[in-house]
Structure 1
């Protein structure tokens, strides 16, 4: 029997093998047919979708593109609007490479004060216009816009100054518009911060090199420790990642996984450093202090005017030439070295610490953000002797920090915002996102929230900043809903000293773009703004990331005035 079976074994093997080959060939054919059908369907679907959908305005060219939660259609619409709002003119493409000689030169550029329709006579309430014409290093007029210019009108004798609004006509000409707010002398000042060619370099770095500031974390278990690179987004093709995305907000954060230790052994976060050699030698020439980086432009004629008192109503009505005023976004001005808001709000002067104590009595002030709001914390504990800093054994420049005046029941707190944060070393347990902290507040009429979040986002694409502010805004809405009496104050961005290196990471152009986004996103919400941008631009003291004490005093006076507004005198 076994002998007979063995005789047919080759036949069985042949039939089995033939069946397998036939089956494989048919499966392959079916798979090919299915793939072709699916591919054709997908291509058709893609064509239909692309014909109906609007192409995105902004493209993030880094590997950060799809990091974080997918925004809702409403969020995408808002993001598109914000990115269009801050869109900046690009230099036209040249037939050959651009040389320094073809770029904006502040020495060859000029501005002129334009006369009014009534001649060279200005009154309080009028608008002053200075026309700026940019030239290149060869003295030739530029035919396109995109330069980053700043303007101020000031009177050293009166301690007066106001910011000018620069309008780009996109043809090499710019207008600087100023409201005339005081009687007496007023001098125009125009500064080239960056040429249009330099701005193009900054924009490219922001969109393509989000990794130019990198971070690190230490992982430790017993005596074993490892350090790896971290960031908002990291290339996944290098090595495995540890995912520290926040569970509540979806804010992403990643570190490269240590070779030995696990992801849950991370103990801290710190700034790792700055990447070098990001630009070419030719591009480096666009960022030379004293040449084309924060250099003043001279006037072709007089740069001063004398402002006369405001016309009375009869004079204005009888005037044949009524000027057409452009609505300026001027929040305030300096007079006698004191900031004066223009929205009808009165800023009080808190020259004595006793007045500040009475204002802050029975208050809890929560400060969240970067080092520019930590500077406010430091100013207050230096100004008010009764505020005693409580030693939490945290680094002074990192926090969290706390100060208490038990006699007057004042509690002042500071905590830095979540990553990205370019501080020395923050313990992992102290890394908190502002929106989560706001959700933990009870709020109420005795609670003040102060926010300053901008500087550490300058190296990332703007959509990342928009997402962070959106989460904070949502948390603020929830806070206001459950505790309507809570006072919320936002500190805007400010100007700072720039050299070539700082420009590539923290340029005023980056700050100005973020500041515009911040103001727009919080407009209409029940929040108050301390306009640090205009306060630093209008002031005569040099620009600094952490403004000098005289400017900080004005900011603190504004903050305290919001907390304790001037009481209106009752009419008898």
Structure 2
């Protein structure tokens, strides 16, 4: 395990080498960089690939000799409510190949954003791995009818007696300073606050002001015209678990998500959803972006009734039941770290691998997993360890119940106005790379929420309902 985590870390260190900088003028400038369409045509055919060559320059107009910039490519047709991600390939010499698949016909606009220059990426990567103390955890211990607060964390460097909450098998740990005369078992609740700590220099921080993030590079591009050309091939293979998902994995059209690698059926009608969910036991494990699913199901499928598990608050376990159809849907948070100012209970907390170990599994059992957003403020080893532990738990599950269905929902993009050192999408991008790498050979389904939220251009940690609806439609296609 430790060797594997080390290997992941080394790979990423090579991908994001140190790029020290002294002044903003030597960093990548969106204004001075140039994008050129390769082999331009007057009109394009639906299904064609359109390639753009990007040459990055600094603020003095000098060509940059290295890559590593964090870019986001998107194509769209606002009139059609259509959008798709573009694929960015770093040629590691200051040039990038940006490829767009022309999924639909009509007038198409291209966009390329410089989210962070390579110097900013390098600074974020260094700062991320420097410490666990960017978030303060406060634990609350029950004493009679009151609570005693105490300092907690993923690591604690204090001269005090500690309560150690350890999972020896999976090598996961969480600690609290033990309050006087209170047993460690009395820990019931937790809150967090962002700490006033930064590992970035003042100069580096200038790169993460909102005006310097997500700057458009391709300003003067006129839209391109795409014709049908009778070239379209219909995809015949039905969406199923174990399929390799390309990037981009699909596109949006009139708010509908259309997969590019498999044939989808529209299952949005309550009757169709009901038929699909009959006799299913569905366990949603992860963060609040997956909790959105359970709220959506409750809104759309009127026969699913909320079951009161005697917990109050957003991060409590949620359960929906349809006794007549023998359907159960449950959402449970992924345990430490949960980063929120809302006080939440840790009484029945369990890491996802332990939750998976408790599920018998069969062909009507489905597990959906999302981890990511709450891990962004912490060194990458924490995320890699959790992902590997989840992979091992899924392998154990498949040994006892190979017909159980497992689906991973990748994390989505979020608003750029947040503190970039701890919440930048760059951290989410790295975590998505790790997930793809670790789960590559498992017979699981992937719902690429990252790709979807770029295509929809939502930039909200909790995407709107039409995005959730399309994630769930993809999910139903996998399980029915």
Give the TM-score of the pair, scaled to structure 2.
Answer: 0.90
- Native 8 Å contact 1:144 1:170 kept in 2: yes
Corresponding residue SS for 2:104:
coil
- Native 8 Å contact 1:111 1:300 kept in 2: no
Partner of 1:449: 367
Cα deviation code 1:193-251 (max 9, x no counterpart): 1122221221122111321012121123336753222121122x533322111244331
Alpha-carbon distance between aligned partners in 2 of 1:88 and 1:310, rounded to the nearest angstrom: 41
Partner of 2:415: 497
Give the unaligned 5+ runs of structure 1. 1-70, 314-326, 565-572
Partner of 1:318: none
> Structure 1 residues 278, 260: CA separation in 2 closer, same or farther (over 3 Å shift)?
farther
Partner of 1:484: 402
Corresponding residue SS for 2:466:
helix
2:222 pairs with 1:281:
no
Partner of 1:548: 464
Paired residues for 1:7-406 under 5 Å: 71=1, 76-77=3-4, 79-81=6-8, 83-84=10-11, 87-90=14-17, 92-93=19-20, 98-115=22-39, 122-222=44-144, 225-235=147-157, 237-276=158-197, 278-289=199-210, 291-307=211-227, 309=229, 329-344=247-262, 346-406=263-323
Equivalent in 416, 441, 445 of residue 333 of structure 2: 416
Q: How far did 1:164 drift?
A: 1.1
Structure with greater strand share of residues: 2
- Native 8 Å contact 1:86 1:516 kept in 2: no
Give the TM-score of the pair, scaled to structure 1.
Answer: 0.76
- Native 8 Å contact 2:70 2:121 kept in 1: yes
Equivalent in 418, 431, 441 of residue 524 of structure 1: 441
Cα root mean square deviation, aligned: 2.5
Give the unaligned 5+ runs of structure 2. 234-244
- Native 8 Å contact 1:113 1:303 kept in 2: no
Corresponding residue SS for 1:198:
helix
Partner of 1:16: none
> Structure 1 residues 146, 254: CA separation in 2 closer, same or farther (over 3 Å shift)?
same
Partner of 2:240: none
| Farther-moved stretch of structure 1 (391-400 vs 504-513) | 391-400
| Farther-moved stretch of structure 1 (270-279 vs 291-300) | 270-279
Q: How far did 1:299 drift?
A: 4.0
- Native 8 Å contact 2:387 2:435 kept in 1: yes
Partner of 1:567: none
> Structure 1 residues 435, 218: CA separation in 2 closer, same or farther (over 3 Å shift)?
same
Q: Which has the larger radius of gyration?
A: 1
> Structure 1 residues 163, 330: CA separation in 2 closer, same or farther (over 3 Å shift)?
same
Q: How far did 1:93 drift?
A: 4.2
Cα deviation code 1:248-291 (max 9, x no counterpart): 433111112224433233222322433345544322211122x2
Corresponding residue SS for 2:347:
helix
Alpha-carbon distance between aligned partners in 1 of 2:372 and 2:37, rounded to the nearest angstrom: 35
Q: How far did 1:185 drift?
A: 2.8
Corresponding residue SS for 1:533:
helix
Structure with greater helix share of residues: 1
Partner of 2:344: 426
Q: How far did 1:444 drift?
A: 0.8
Alpha-carbon distance between aligned partners in 2 of 1:486 and 1:82, rounded to the nearest angstrom: 31
Aligned residues: 468
> Structure 1 residues 426, 246: CA separation in 2 closer, same or farther (over 3 Å shift)?
farther
Cα deviation code 1:64-93 (max 9, x no counterpart): xxxxxxx3xxx6146415641574344644
Alpha-carbon distance between aligned partners in 2 of 1:259 and 1:273, rounded to the nearest angstrom: 26
Partner of 1:533: 450
Corresponding residue SS for 1:430:
coil
- Native 8 Å contact 2:5 2:384 kept in 1: no
Corresponding residue SS for 1:149:
strand
Alpha-carbon distance between aligned partners in 2 of 1:311 and 1:404, rounded to the nearest angstrom: 47
Q: How far did 1:467 drift?
A: 1.1
Q: How far did 1:146 drift?
A: 1.7
